[in-house]
Structure 1
Amino acid sequence: MFNEQSATVSEPNSGTEKRLLEAAGEIFAEYGYRAATVRQICEKAGANIAAVNYHFGDKEGLYMAVLRSVPDAHAEKYPADYGPGTAPEQKLSAYIQSLLHRVFDEGRPGWHTKIMAREMIEPTRALDTLVEEIARPFHQELASITRELLDSAATEEAVRLCTLSILSQCVYYHHARSVLSRLYPKRKYGPNDIPRLAEHITAFSLAALKEFAQQNGGISE
């Protein structure tokens, strides 16, 4: 994992911090963590090189802050809106709608998707931190909903596979958009399709989960 100082960066509270985060996001996305330089970032941000150490500790700290800012911004903008006592079917619908809104968010900077994809392809030590702080809780939330909808005898593997299947349905529209545009050139999926896609994915997933529940988990360890 990144060092302790790098892992405790606070929310940006100054114009310089915000400029550094935005500039760093673009530079890291374009060149990758290893090739990008603090000098490049500071020149783009119009900031003194010492500002990186002052606000983020070092290059690692800045990179970690940039990576954290991406999912944090999406989670704040599109929360899965359900409270205590909500039926699991409604929780699943809310979760899927939230995820699709994040997938189709056209208002996010272009580097958001690029930098996260680069981190997956060329992982740094930051990936461990991202998994523990962001990806694992996000997966566990859906796994908890999935477990509620499956029979109590469902195995952990059944819960895991069903959870990943639901996630895959949602993110496919983004990850495979270049392929989809060629397969269906007259049909482009976008934000306006979210209600219909959410309804379809929810209904499709609930039907599958119901079948698994009837099979007492269906998949053995």
Structure 2
Amino acid sequence: MQQVEPADTKRRLMDAAGEVFSEKGFKAATVREICRVASANVAAVHYHFGDKEGLYKALLVEAFENGLRRYPPNLHLGPEAGCEERLFAFVHSFLLRTLGSERFAWCGKLMARELHEPTEALDHIVERYILPLTEQLRTIVAEIMGGEAKAGDTRTLHCTMSVVGQCQYIFRSRSVIGRLIPDLRFDEAGIEALARHITTFSLSALRNLPPVEPEPA
């Protein structure tokens, strides 16, 4: 009888957990169902992850790590790249990470569930991944806005949220968009076209913002 290696069991648990958590959410998913899908003993979850919460947190971390490793926010641009190129790379990488349909297609769905029904793991994800990504985008947005715009001011933050909001809309409303625009593709070429549209739209808005009105006396 062939012996199952612990590393193989851990991998099967992660893959099974990705499917189950993304479909049912953290609360409804059970360790027993995950182990059934993974063909693993319930005790294996405790051995490798401690408990259900530990497995879920490890899964979220893997989802971000895999996505950022494959599609980093600068898409490997050189240091000489301008702010327009960097904005397109950021938007394009965001869409590639969330709309991809490869082996880890559950990653985007899992994160959507986490944002809709946050768990204690969200604080860790925000601090380790989302905050650094947001700061990076705020720097790009401030450079595009020019003038006295700074990455830390409120207006720049609002503009940054507007850019991300366009990406999030496509991510969250993909099933609706598919019904409204049946011919819209979410393959590699389609995702690039969406990224270029969001970038062009955002550049136009950021460069044509009305002056800030002075505070009333």
Taking structure 1 as the reference length, the TM-score comes to 0.81
Q: Counterparts in 2 of 1:24-173, with a 5 A limit?
A: 24-79=17-72, 80=74, 81-154=76-149, 156-173=153-170
User: What are the Cα deviations for residues 22-59 of structure 1, in whole angstroms up to 9, with x where unaligned?
Assistant: 11122223333233332222222122222222221222
What is the CA-CA distance between 1:166 and the residue it aligns to?
1.2
Q: Distance in 1 between matches of 2:184 and 2:56?
A: 34
Letter in 2 for 1:135: I
Q: Distance in 2 between matches of 1:14 and 1:123?
A: 29
User: What are the Cα deviations for residues 88-121 of structure 1, in whole angstroms up to 9, with x where unaligned?
Assistant: 2221121122122223312144532332222222
What is the CA-CA distance between 1:163 and the residue it aligns to?
0.9
Percent identity between the aligned chains? 43
Unaligned runs of at least 5 residues, structure 2 = 1-5
Q: Identify which of structures 1 and 2 has the higher relative contact order when contacts are C-alpha pairs closer than 8 Å and 6+ apart.
A: 1
Unaligned runs of at least 5 residues, structure 1 = 1-12
CA contact under 8 A between 1:119 and 1:127: conserved in structure 2?
Answer: yes
What is the CA-CA distance between 1:145 and the residue it aligns to?
0.8
Letter in 1 for 2:196: E
Question: Does structure 1 residue 176 correspond to structure 2 residue 169?
Answer: no
Q: Give 3-state SS (helix, strand or coil) of 1:72's partner.
A: helix
Change (3 A) 1:97 1:31: closer
Taking structure 2 as the reference length, the TM-score comes to 0.82
The aligned length equals 205
Change (3 A) 1:49 1:128: same
